[in-house]
Every structure is written in structure tokens, then in C-alpha cells.
Chains A and B, each alone.
Chain A
Amino acid sequence: MQKTMPYNVEKIREDFPILKRAINGKPLVYLDNAATAQKPRQVIETLDRYYSEYNANIHRGIYKISEEATAAHEEARAKIARFINARHSEEIVFVRGTTEGINLVAHSWGRPNIGLGDGIILTEMEHHSNIVPWQLLAREKGASLKYVGISDDGILLKDDFHQHLENDGVKLFCVAHSSNVLGTINPVREMIREAHKHGCRVLVDAAQSVPHMPVDVQDLDCDFLAFSGHKMCGPTGIGVFYAKRELLEEMSPYHGGGEMIREVHLYESSWKPPPYKFEAGTVNIAGAIGLGAAVDYLSNLGMRNIRLHEREVTEYALDKLSKIKGLSIYGPKEAQTRGGIISFNLGDIHAHDMATLLDEDGIAVRAGHHCAQPLMERLGVPGTARASFYVYNTEEEVDLLASSLERAGRIFKL
């Protein structure tokens, strides 16, 4: 695979004002992109323009700026639909983030469709947000949770998956497209086909994939998919829940309130069609418009180019870091099968101490259990430090990370 145009990372970095900051007298090296990504000025300016020029509530305002805001909001929805190749704009529901999208499935599809004795398949590498809503639902309905295990290299065990699918009453498979800890990119397309053969619906947690690689919901054929705006250069508090239109049509509202209704009477109401029946109250208008700008920004760079860039940086980092004495890296060994996330531990240095040591050099990483305590248990560690890359990270920054890790090793006398 070749990038379709020269990928000028220095030019891209100029778009991100925060990258000019110094931390402890050193340039900020931001490697916590799996938690949240930085924002380019194109997104910041879009938000500024909305609030300065056409801030108004949408849909029912009969005046100029409300019409402008409504148009921009719905244009953002259409952009996102094109971005993930949804068949219809109506399949894009704005939510707060991935977590809300998953809870929406549990509430509006799970409750009526999952009952006593039914099964929900999860994997050992799920984020808490794709575990806890299913525990709540399973407890309420008397359903059972079945986990697909992982190999020591952080690859899903296909035999586990097939075995669980053979069980009667398996209704839903919930899987991370890409692991927020291991970086593993799961073969979801193939797994969705397998699940569908058994009449099992599939929810894809795309929080770590949509920001980093081309994702085509029609090609995947997933039933549900959710992702967060802030991990893809967009604002916080906005995310996307996708579902096939026929599923959205049969699902009940998640929240009741204004804007989601067709008619309200004292004792009964009727709903608008999707996606509006899922968007009660005044939505995050600025967030949606800002996310639209983020989608433009990423599309302009090209998702294939972004994936290739991150793969190069990850490959470089895997090579560089594996030369550091005492460093353990978790997850797949090849950059081919992983996203731009590297979890590691160095000797007996606790992950939190590691994050503090790196911060002393202006390097921002995450440390701890990464909202994946069952996975930490499986790996047999209390936590890991995690470096995660995005469009603006460079091999020079990987070098700074590596030399700061060497410094940490010296301080701790490893």
C-alpha cells in the first residue's frame, strides 16, 4: 500500500496549536491519543464561527440563524454518513460518545430482544464501556455473558468464538474493532459474517478504529457501531451511534423529551422517525458541527494515509522500544495487525511512576488499567503505560520517548 499523496507531517503539526506548548521547558510530546486527540485549528475555528455567527437552537426556529444552525447540524450528519459509508444519513444518531451509543443498544434493542437464558458474547479485551452495560442487562434479564479469550499475543481465540456461537439463544456479539490497550485490530468483518450465520447481531465498538483507519459499515455489515468525536479531532461530548435503518425503526426511544416526538398527548405520545426519536432535548449542536469539521479534516488527509502513517510510526516504535533492556510490550508483535497503540512496562517500574517520569520530559502517556481491568487480569499486571499515536506524531517523538525510557531505567537503576 502506498500513500495517495505526500503526507507532510510537519505541515499537519502546524494545524494543531497545542503542539507548540512546552512542558517543563520541553516540547509537548503528546502520546495519549487513544484517550483523546488534539484539535486542529480548522475544528476550533468552526466552533468559534458557530458560537460567534449562527448560534441558535435547531429544527424549529423560524428565523435565519436557526435555519443556518439546522443546516450545518444536518450537513454534519450527512458528512459522517459518507465518512463511514452508511447507506442513509438517518442511520447516524448523535450521542455523547461511544459509551452512550453502547448503552443505547443495551436499552433500546437489548431489553426487548434479549431474555431469560439468552447469551451475549463479549471479548476479554473489551473496554469497561462494552462490558458493564451488558452486565446490567444480563442481570436484569437473566441472560448470560460469554467471553472470547485472547492468546498471549493479544489475538482473539477463534475457537472460543465459534463455540459460543453454537449455543442456542446467542443474540448479540459485542466487540472492539481495535483494542484500546493491545492495539490489536480484530477481524470483525469475518466475525460479523460468522455471527450472522447463527442469527446473532453484532455491535462494533469503533472508538479506536474510526479515528485511525477507513471504516465502511456496509462492507463490515455490522448491525450497530459506535464511536466518539473527541478521539478523532472533534470536540468532547459528541459521538456517533450507527445502526441499520430497519433496526433503528423497530427500536424504542432511549430518552424521552422534546424534539424526539411527533405528537404528545396527556397519556401517550408518538415518535419522530429515526434518527430524531433518539435525540431528545437540545442536542450538542456545536459538537456535531465541530465533528463535521473534524471529518472534513481527516478526509482531506485521507484515512488510508492516516493508517499508513500510524503504521510506520508504530513499526518504528516497536523496533526502537524492543531494544530497551527490561521493556515488555503487550499485544501483537507486528504493526500490520495492530493500530497505533503500544502498552508496555519497564522492569519493576509501576505504570504510574512511569507516566510521572515521562511527564518530567514533557511526554504525555496514559498509565493504569485503561478501563480494561479484566484484560489486566488476563495479562497478569496491575496496569501498563500506554503510548498511542495519531496523525501528527513523528519518529523523532518516538526517539524522545525511547530516550526518556532509558532515563527512567537509569533513575530506577534497572
Chain B
Amino acid sequence: MSSIYSEIILDYYRYPRNKGQLSSPQVKAKDSNPLCGDVIEIQLELDSDNHVKDVRFNGQGCAISQASASMLTELVKGKSLDEVRKISKEDILSLIGGQLSAVRMKCALLSLKVLKTGLYTYLGSLDGSKGELSSL
């Protein structure tokens, strides 16, 4: 059968885009997946009308978690915070392409969870968003 590990996933894993640190990010968050030991940190720098001016991720773990984090950084660049807020689970899964088991889904969605945690913390609405975050 064909593999979930497409050329694209492998490429993002081996040559991650937007990996590193920003000097003064307004939005940042970090989390890990205790089951797998995947760790992801995401940082956003915003411009004056709250669009994502720059973005970085950092972390370690499996190819699924690292490649999806890198793909997510490309997706958010230039977007307004409102658009970032609307990024869904399905958006990430379609970036990855293919079917994932329930356990590996956690790897794929870790970066989105981290991004949203950072965003809601910045917007001061973290408490009201626990439901959405726990579904990731």
C-alpha cells in the first residue's frame, strides 16, 4: 500500500521551514505529547493590524508532528488572527494527506493545539476555549 509518509511529509521533516526562534514574539506557546514525547513550541510576531508577520516553530519528535508543525507555520503566515483562529483539524489533516490512526492523530494535531493555546492566551480567552483545545 502507499505510505502516509509521502515525499512532502519527508521533505518537511528533513528540511523544516520556519524552524527556530523569533526575537520578540507576541504570541508563544509550548506543549508536548506525553505518549510519544513529541515537543512543539510555536511563536508568532504580529504586525500593527494583527496579522501574522513572522512565525517560527521549534521541537522534536516524530516526522508527523514535526512536518505538520512546519506546514502549519506556512499556513498561518500573513493571516489575520481571526483567520488563524478558524484553522481546523481538517485543514491540518488535508495538509498531511492520507489516513491517520487515533494515536498518530495526536502527533499531527499537536502543533495546532499549541498554536491555538498561544493565540487564546494572547487574546485572553484561554479559559473559554478549553473545549476546543481538548478536542485536538
Chain A positions near chain B (C-beta within 8 angstroms): 24-25, 349-353, 356-357, 359-361, 368-369, 382-383, 411-413
Q: How far is the CB of A356 from chain B (nearest CB, A)?
A: 6
Q: Which residue of B lies closest to A407 (CB)?
A: B3
Partner of B35, one of A349, A357, A368, A413: A368
Q: Judge whether A360 and B37 touch: CB under 8 Å.
A: no
By the criterion CB–CB under 8 Å, are B5 and A350 in contact? no
* Residue in B10, B60, B62, B104 whose CB lies within 8 Å of A411: B10
Instruction: Tell me, yes or no, whether B4 is within 8 Å of chain A by CB.
Output: yes
Determine the main DSSP class of A at the interface with B: loop
Question: With contacts A412-B10, A413-B10 known, is A360 near B35, CB below 8 A?
Answer: no
Contact call B104/A356, Cβ cutoff below 8 A: yes
- Tell me if B101 is interfacial: C-beta within 8 Å of chain A: yes
B101 touches A356 (CB 8 A): yes
Q: Kindly provide the distance from the CB of B42 to the nearest chain A CB, expressed in whole angstroms.
A: 20
- B1-35 interface bits toward A, Cβ cutoff 8 Å, 1 = contact, 0 = none: 10111000010000000000000000000000001
Q: Are B63 and A350 in contact (CB under 8 A)?
A: yes
B110 to chain A, nearest CB (A): 12
A360 to B101, CA, bound (A): 11
Does the CB pair B3–A360 fall under 8 Å? yes
| Residue B36 interfacial (CB < 8 Å) | yes
The 3 closest A-B pairs by CB, nearest first: A350-B62, A352-B62, A353-B62
Q: How far is the CA of A124 from the CA of B55 in the complex (A)?
A: 41
CB contact under 8 A between A357 and B10, given known A350-B62, A352-B107? no
Known contacts A383-B37, A411-B10; A357 and B62 CB within 8 A of each other = no
Instruction: Known pairs A356-B64, A411-B3; list 6 more (Cβ under 8 Å).
Output: A349-B63, A352-B107, A353-B63, A356-B104, A369-B37, A411-B10
The B75-116 residues at the A interface (CB cut-off 8 A) are: 101, 104, 107
- Which residues on the B side are within 8 Å of A361 (C-beta)? 1
Q: Which residues of A contact B3 (CB under 8 A)?
A: 357, 360, 411
Given A352-B107, A353-B5, A353-B63, A382 and B101 touching (CB < 8 A)?
no
B59 within 8 A of A: no
Query: Which B residues contact A (CB, under 8 angstroms)?
Result: 1, 3-5, 10, 35-37, 60-64, 101, 104, 107
Q: List 5 A-B contacts (CB under 8 A).
A: A25-B1, A350-B61, A357-B3, A382-B61, A412-B10
CA distance A351 to B63 in the complex (A): 10
Contact B10 A360 (CB under 8 A): no
* Bound Cα distance from A413 to B13, whole angstroms: 12
Contact across chains for A412 and B37 when beta carbons are under 8 A apart: no
Smallest CB–CB gap between B69 and chain A, Å?
Answer: 14
CA distance A5 to B35 in the complex (A): 43
Please tell me if the beta carbons of B104 and A352 are within 8 angstroms of each other in the complex.
Answer: yes
**In contact, A360 and B63 (Cβ under 8 angstroms):** no
Q: How far is the CA of A351 from the CA of B35 in the complex (A)?
A: 12
- Give the chain B neighbours of A350 by CB distance below 8 A: 61-63
* Central interface residue in B35, B36, B64, by most chain A CB within 10 Å: B36
Asked if A353 and B64 make an inter-chain contact with CB atoms under 8 angstroms apart, the answer reads yes
Taken together as a complex, chains A and B put the C-alpha atoms of A383 and B4 apart, in Å, by: 21
Residues of A close to B35: CB separation below 8 A: 368
Residues of B within 8 A of A368 (CB): 35-37
Would you call B36 and A356 a contact (CB within 8 A)?
Answer: no
The complex places the Cα of A204 from the Cα of B40 at a distance, in Å, of 39
A371 to chain B minimum Cβ distance, whole angstroms, is 12
Residues of B within 8 A of A359 (CB): 101
Q: Distance in Å from the Cβ of A93 to the closest Cβ of chain B?
A: 32
Bound Cα distance from A234 to B1, whole angstroms: 34
B21 CB, nearest partner CB in chain A, Å: 22
CB distance from B61 to the nearest CB of A (A): 7
Contacts of B107 in A (CB 8 A): 352
Tell me how far the C-beta of B49 lies from the nearest C-beta in chain A, rounded to whole angstroms.
39
Q: Establish whether residues B5 and A382, one from each chain, have CB atoms under 8 Å apart when the complex forms.
A: no
Q: Which of the listed residues B4, B35, B60, B101 has the most CB atoms from chain A within 10 Å of its own CB? A: B4
Q: Which residues of A contact B1 (CB under 8 A)?
A: 24-25, 360-361
Q: In the docked arrangement, what's the CA distance between A361 and B60, Å? A: 26
CB distance from A407 to the nearest CB of B (A): 8
Per a CB cutoff under 8 Å, which of B5, B60, B101, B104 touches A412? B5
Per the bound structure, the CA–CA distance linking A374 and B28 in Å amounts to 31
Candidate in A356, A360, A361 with the most chain B CB atoms within 10 angstroms: A356
Residues of chain B within 8 A (CB-CB) of A357 are: 3, 5
Q: Is the CB of B104 within 8 A of A360?
A: no
Closest A-chain residue to B66, C-beta based? A350
